[in-house]
Amino acid sequence: MKVLFILLYIIIAIQTQIHLCFGNVTATQMLILPLMIQETGSESWPRELNNLSFNHNVTLTVSLSVGTPQQNVTMVLDTGSELSWLQCNTTTGMARPMFDPTLSSTYTPVNCSSPTCTTQTRDFPIPTSCDSNKHCHAMLSYADATSSEGNLASDTFNIGASGMPGTIFGCMDSGSSSNSGEDNKTTGLMGMNRGPLSFVSQMNFSKFSYCIPGSDHLGVLVFSDGNSTWLKSLNYTPLIQISTPLPYFDRSAYTVQLLGFKVSEKMLPLPESILEPDHTGAGQTMIDSGTQFTFLVGPAYTALKNEFLNQTNGTLQVLNDPDYAFQGAMDLCYLLPLNQTNLPVLPSISIMLDGAEMNISGDKLLYTVPGEVRDNSWVACLTFGNSDLLGIEAYIIGHHHQQNLWIEFDLENSRVGIAPVQCDIASQKIGS
């Protein structure tokens, strides 16, 4: 049986009054991209080694065009990655839509002697390698043993009527995939972290924001150098920056200070030492649009799981299967009768950050596993997982728990703004 999943598509809609000048980018107004929800076939998305290694049922994607003449592409929007890349049309038999560099007059491979190739980044540690044409060779490896390989290149990325020439990206012409037989709908990935090769760094905007809809409504993605004057209630949490390289700390990630968790109004009694990075960098808290759910380090997850179990005792029937863990890391699951249409009242979970709070309630707390039926009941799992089970020593706040929140990445002031909003209303306010 083919299971249908949801993909969030960012559909480009540029208004005529927007003026953009790419290269040395300036913006007199906001660049606005609406989000819609659309169903598509099941797909698996590989993640980089220092991110999560499981299949994502929901991804955020942006549709734009690349090259001259323009070729339409769809890219996963990922604040947890740096290098943007496209699957290029130099091999056959690939199910994923591809970009053909031979058809673009503005496509330029990056030479091995280029500073872009010789400067160390998270994605390309020194030394880099060269192909037979002395082009900068790129190889990305993933935690599920898949890989993507090709060359660094530049081309014009077009958003509506505006273009950004000379954008650096990976043009991947080969690789292994955990889902090569699936009907993939995306051409590549758009890296949006703080690294020098990320898309937002190359665009040179001082901030970007998004609002992810929680149901069949419009959301919005905004690039802007201005203030969100219509939104008065943003609470800011500072971005943590560590200048010294640490083995398990991603300095390009959007890392924030975690203060703890509340279940209903009960603050979990967690020691401060497990809520912040240790001397190796392990234990950072990242906001990641490329991850679906939220993952906590082992001790914090255990405390949250036990308290949620305690507060739902007698309300929900626990799945009694110690060998079952959804996506390998979410092992608190319940049985919901097939004829049950509404969830009972559940205790809310709050993620407490320095200066801001993310409150998760209602249907965002449980995820019904597609096709998983036990004893005439659906299996529904808590949408928090144990990052230790994935071999990831970090807290990762996924986009499922960012629904109906305005998330502003203020790069100039090194902070993240968070405010609860209805994404369809936010879209109307910004588009008016």
Q: Are 219 and 210 in contact (CB under 8 A)?
A: yes
Query: 146: helix, coil or strand?
Result: coil
Nearest partner of 174 among 209, 198, 147, judged by Cα: 147
How many whole angstroms separate alpha carbon 380 and alpha carbon 332? 9
Calculate Rg over the CA atoms of the chain.
21
- The DSSP secondary structure of 288-348, one letter per residue, reads -TT-SSEEE-HHHHHHHHHHHHHHTBTTBEEP--TT--BTTTB--EEEEETT--SPPP---
Token digits of residue 140: 């990305």
Q: Write the CB contacts of 414 (distance below 8 Å, at least 6 apart in sequence).
A: 238, 239, 241
Q: CB neighbours (10 Å) of residue 173?
A: 17
How many whole angstroms separate alpha carbon 150 and alpha carbon 35? 31
Chain centroid, CA 4 distance in Å: 20
Task: Indicate which residues carry an active-site annotation.
Answer: 78, 288
Q: Which residues of 106-141 are buried (b: 16+ CB within 10 A; e: fewer)?
A: bbebbebebebbeeebbbbeeebeeeeeebbbbbbe
